Structure 1
Amino acid sequence: MYGSSIAIVIAAKNEEKYIEKCITSITEQNYPQELVKIIVCDGKSTDRTPDIVKAISGVSPNVELLINEREAAPFAFNLGIRHSNTNYLMILGAHAELKPNYLTDAISFLEAHPEISCLGGILDNVYENEASKAIGTAMSLPFGVGNAHFRTGAQEGFVDTVAFGIYKREIFEAIGVFDEELIRNQDDEFNYRLTKWGGKIYLLPALQSRYFVRASFKKLFRQYYQYGYWKVFVNKKHKIVTSVRQLFPPMFVLFLVSLPVMLLLGTWFLYFYLAILCLYLLIASWFAAKSANSFKNFSNIFLSFLCLHVGYGAGYLVGLYDVLLLGKSPVQNAKMKTLTR
């Protein structure tokens, strides 16, 4: 097990609040540090992020800082991939911290199961305020994010995607690197190509990382709006809907804006509309109430559901119009290129 090397690629931009703890969680792993390479690809930060990384690299020689001139995440990932020659590669977010035995357990499991191409664990959310607590709770519930098992903590097994995946080196040689056209959804698209190629992605809940949840409903809405918009572009590139769960939010938003049509069609259609709307509100309220510890927390969780569903659905519908009907690329849309973190 201790003969396998791993490179951990971290895409960062203006992460002075989190980057040191993220790197420290790797340097303090109980896996031999001589087999671990930490590559921070900085997207031209304007804060102290590069200085912090340089200071750490002076103490830990396996930490390296690279400048991501193109700034976006897929360029950072590919920069790190091409700059390493390890047996395994891990893509890690700067907002995350690994539990001390993460690498030992992960590589041990991969070595014991050579049929697995990519391995991931679950996110243990860390909340910075009431808003982030509600957002994290909503994103850990099936009603909030569907069958995104790495968020919901579902049972161990094969899945279609994971967060912070650890990949075998040969995977990139077989199917290529991350799609640099995708400012969003690049990891989902890569994992789709991986499974289409015949690779297997495995979720091991024993692997846990702490993740600091965003604390803004506005940013959450914008993030999921972008996810929905870019998902259309991914579908167009592959000429297929890559997962069924992505269709529910746009269908919900279409339903919400159909009220004028229902009014024109008559009373019974209006009753049908109100019945479906009440059903959604009841289900959302039930999930929120089940997880809330106060009325304020309940309200915030409920609002988080709306940000997730309406944000993604609205972005998806606008993407259908722009990308499919008008033939535009998201790259041409400045708002879709600006990240929300």
Structure 2
Amino acid sequence: MNLEEPMKVSVIIPCYNEQGYIYRCVDSICSNLRLVDYPFEIIVVDGGSSDGTLSELERAASDFHRVTLRVLHNPHRYQVHALNIGIEAAAGHYIVRCDAHSIYPPGYIDRLVGLLELAEEDVGNVGTPHVSSPGADTAMARCISVAMTSPVAVGISHRSLVCKEPMQVDTLLFGAWKKSVLEKVGNFDTRFIRGQDLEHNLRLAANGYKAVLHPGAPFTFFTRPTLPKLNLMIRQYAAAKVEIAAHTRSRPVVRGLIPLAFFVSLIGLLFTPMHWVLPTTYGLAILVYSSWTAIARKSAELLRLALVIPSMHINHAMGTAQGIWSTLLRKRGPTKWSGTR
């Protein structure tokens, strides 16, 4: 690698209290880029971690001393601010967003860079599928990990998509851009503590760019370890989708309204002779799916899907209702979530 060449790739990692994950993340990225012949940098933007994250980053800097690893401070704590701080500081021609809660397979970053180099001018963001891994060594965490990539739990979304050929999507998890594209459409909108990736991809589309999901070795994303943490995340994201649609005047994705519509229908049927049909059918379907998954994977603990999936659906419906109430009815701005990063 010729260090006199202009910086080609900047990898940005927002970070806050990720002691259990950040070293593995940086390790996987350094392994990713070990054999490339162009200059790159890793920029970790930390939101004031108090759990030993910075010590882990010091260990990574020592272990990977030949890598340009920069740690910047994010005084606002939230991830959306960290992304913008990292983008502004990035010297690379290409910017790859990574998440501290993930690890990346060999060749992942170089593949994204190659896709951007060969992409048509109207491609603004590229990414690959991902797989979920448990956020803790517990039966519930393993069950959550399975649910988070199940179409029954999350619908046909970027969390459940796999592809055999490139496909245009409304949004994708993380991704990579040419810095010139970001300079044209702008950085992330700091009004949106949650869902900022969706808003940004909508803005790319409004400026004539596409987000494209490509086949390839998936990266691994570590899911929430407990049901309360998962439910909080789902409520926040569901509310954020409504807020983003309202503030960007974009059409909401129909699939995001299905859980709320379903539970509203349940309430509407309470006072009819057929009040038992829909909940019974839903319950049986979830039980059959959970049992089939447990048998197929030879894991009795996956029977907990019968609890996890309805909980996800209910919390998504609650979040959507909250978004409609706060944004469309009360005319409030985007929610400044507490209890998140």
The equivalent residue for 1:8 is: 11
The equivalent residue for 1:280 is: 282
The AA in structure 2 aligned to 1:13 is Y
1:33, distance to aligned residue in structure 2 (A): 7.2
Distance 1:187 1:246, change over 3 A: same
1:60, distance to aligned residue in structure 2 (A): 4.0
Distance 1:152 1:309, change over 3 A: same
The reply to whether residue 306 of structure 1 matches residue 310 of structure 2 is yes
Structure 1 residue runs of 5 or longer lacking an equivalent are: 264-268
Distance 1:111 1:305, change over 3 A: same
Query: Out of 101, 107, 116, which is 2:107 matched to?
Result: 101
1:145, distance to aligned residue in structure 2 (A): 1.4
Query: Out of 142, 149, 164, which is 1:133 matched to?
Result: 142
Residues 97 and 176 in structure 2, CA contact (< 8 A), matched pair in contact too: yes
Tell me the percent identity.
27
Residues 158 and 173 in structure 2, CA contact (< 8 A), matched pair in contact too: no
1:150, distance to aligned residue in structure 2 (A): 4.5
Residues 46 and 71 in structure 2, CA contact (< 8 A), matched pair in contact too: yes
Q: Which moved more, 1:110-119 or 1:229-238?
A: 110-119
1:239, distance to aligned residue in structure 2 (A): 2.0
1:207, distance to aligned residue in structure 2 (A): 3.5
Following superposition, which runs of at least 4 residues in structure 1 exceed 6 angstroms of deviation? none
The equivalent residue for 2:339 is: 338
The equivalent residue for 2:224 is: 214
Higher helix share: 1
Query: Out of 96, 104, 115, which is 1:90 matched to?
Result: 96
Residues 125 and 175 in structure 2, CA contact (< 8 A), matched pair in contact too: yes
d(CA) in 1 for partners of 2:21 and 2:222? 9
Distance 1:152 1:228, change over 3 A: same
The reply to whether residue 122 of structure 1 matches residue 152 of structure 2 is no
SS in 2 for 1:337: coil
Residues 263 and 317 in structure 2, CA contact (< 8 A), matched pair in contact too: yes
The equivalent residue for 1:73 is: 79
Distance 1:50 1:280, change over 3 A: same
d(CA) in 2 for partners of 1:33 and 1:71? 34
Structure 2 residue runs of 5 or longer lacking an equivalent are: none
SS in 1 for 2:45: strand
The equivalent residue for 2:199 is: 189
The equivalent residue for 1:266 is: none
Q: Which moved more, 1:317-326 or 1:36-45?
A: 317-326
d(CA) in 2 for partners of 1:307 and 1:6? 40
The equivalent residue for 1:26 is: 29
Distance 1:33 1:14, change over 3 A: farther
d(CA) in 2 for partners of 1:155 and 1:140? 17
Residues 11 and 76 in structure 1, CA contact (< 8 A), matched pair in contact too: yes
Query: Out of 134, 154, 175, which is 1:165 matched to?
Result: 175
1:224, distance to aligned residue in structure 2 (A): 0.5
The reply to whether residue 324 of structure 1 matches residue 328 of structure 2 is yes
TM-score by length of 2: 0.89
SS in 2 for 1:117: strand
Distance 1:133 1:155, change over 3 A: farther
SS in 1 for 2:265: helix
Residues 28 and 100 in structure 1, CA contact (< 8 A), matched pair in contact too: yes
Residues 194 and 236 in structure 2, CA contact (< 8 A), matched pair in contact too: yes
The equivalent residue for 2:42 is: 38
1:55, distance to aligned residue in structure 2 (A): 3.5
1:195, distance to aligned residue in structure 2 (A): 1.8
The reply to whether residue 144 of structure 1 matches residue 153 of structure 2 is yes
Residues 153 and 205 in structure 1, CA contact (< 8 A), matched pair in contact too: yes
Q: Which moved more, 1:26-35 or 1:77-86?
A: 26-35
Distance 1:149 1:286, change over 3 A: farther
The reply to whether residue 57 of structure 1 matches residue 61 of structure 2 is yes
Q: Which moved more, 1:133-142 or 1:15-24?
A: 133-142
The reply to whether residue 232 of structure 1 matches residue 257 of structure 2 is no
d(CA) in 1 for partners of 2:107 and 2:91? 23
Residues 266 and 278 in structure 2, CA contact (< 8 A), matched pair in contact too: no
TM-score by length of 1: 0.89
Deviations 1:166-200 (A, max 9, x none): 11212211211101011100011111111222211
Deviations 1:214-265 (A, max 9, x none): 2201111111111112222111101233311111122123234435xx32xx
Query: Out of 289, 295, 302, which is 1:297 matched to?
Result: 302
SS in 1 for 2:129: strand
Q: Which moved more, 1:167-176 or 1:287-296?
A: 287-296
